[in-house]
Amino acid sequence: MGTLDGKVALVTGGGRGIGRALVDKLAAQGARVVVNDLDPGPTDEAVAAIRARGGQAIGCPGSVTDPDFGNRFVGLAMSTWGGIDIIVNNAGYTWDNVIQKMTDEQFDAMYDVHVKAPFRILRAAADPIRQLAKADQAAGREVVRKVVNISSVAGLGGNAGQVNYSSAKAALVGMTKTLSREWGRYRVTVNCVAFGFIKTRLTQPLGSGPAKIDVQGKEIAVGIQPALIEAFETQMIPMGRAGTPEEAANGVYLFCTPESDYISGQVVVVGGGLSF
């Protein structure tokens, strides 16, 4: 028996890094998972791995920034399993520059993936969730559903070179708190996890491997200067090291469990004590 047996979980960015660790965790606890990633390859790999371990998963590849993605994502969960219990808005990336060199395209790209995409997904889920809650009430069932939005310490305290990313992640905190007020009546908790320094392909040391990612045909520079990584791990993070994708996923998982059924509208930093 898992803590999430029979639940239906939707996770964006679930084919790589933290998202991949999260879909594995949710499936291991009995959830049926709708896995999204930008590219079909990582999506299919995550789904196949879950199924190979006896879990249930389906893939929904594609960009979360597509105007119809939210409806397609939610619609797939409803048509396949007839329900929604957990939504995790995890997909995203960084595109850094100081403000005087930042283009409108860079700023808009961060808004689109970190703010507008979660908004569209949650808007698409609103009517199904209301109908599910109404059916639960009529049947005398107490079912608590979960939304977890992924922010960053950059959205809480800012970060030089990331005015676009920091602004978008701060906006996601506002979305979280607002929706917790709107959806409490439907027995939905809405919380936010802000990651600190987690080891992923986006935070690899510059010079240690590929320094760019491909986002729909556009090459985006990623990576962190080794000196900054050393400062994080030796001076800024009390626990003295970066987190792993599995540790980051565990922080999200906490808000997906029944033990968090009366926690809503909160922001929790998963960062080894890192604070601003």
Dump the DSSP string for 248-273: HHHHHHHTTSGGGTT--S-EEEESTT
- Centre a 10 Å sphere on the Cβ of residue 65 and count the other Cβ atoms it contains: 18
The residue whose two tokens read 């595109």 is 95
- Rounded Cα gap, residues 250 and 248, in angstroms: 5
- Domains of the chain plus CATH, in order, are 8-199+243-270 (3.40.50.720)
Residues 262-266 have a mean pLDDT of 98
Output the average pLDDT for the chain: 95
Give the whole-angstrom CA distance, residue 83 versus residue 223. Answer: 38
Read off the pLDDT band of 208 (50, 70, 90): low
pLDDT in tens, 127-186: 999 999 999 999 999 999 999 999 999 999 999 999 999 999 999 999 999 999 999 999
Rounded mean pLDDT of 261-267?
A: 98
Q: What angle (nearest 5°) sits at the alpha carbon of residue 149, between those of residues 270 and 224?
A: 55
**pLDDT for residue 207:** 67
pTM: 0.95
Residue 59's H or E segment, with its range, is strand 56-59
* Cα 34–chain centre separation: 13
The residues that are catalytic are: 165
Which token pair is 210?
């590929």
- Specify whether the backbone of 273 is left (phi greater than 0), alpha (psi in -120 to 50) or beta: left
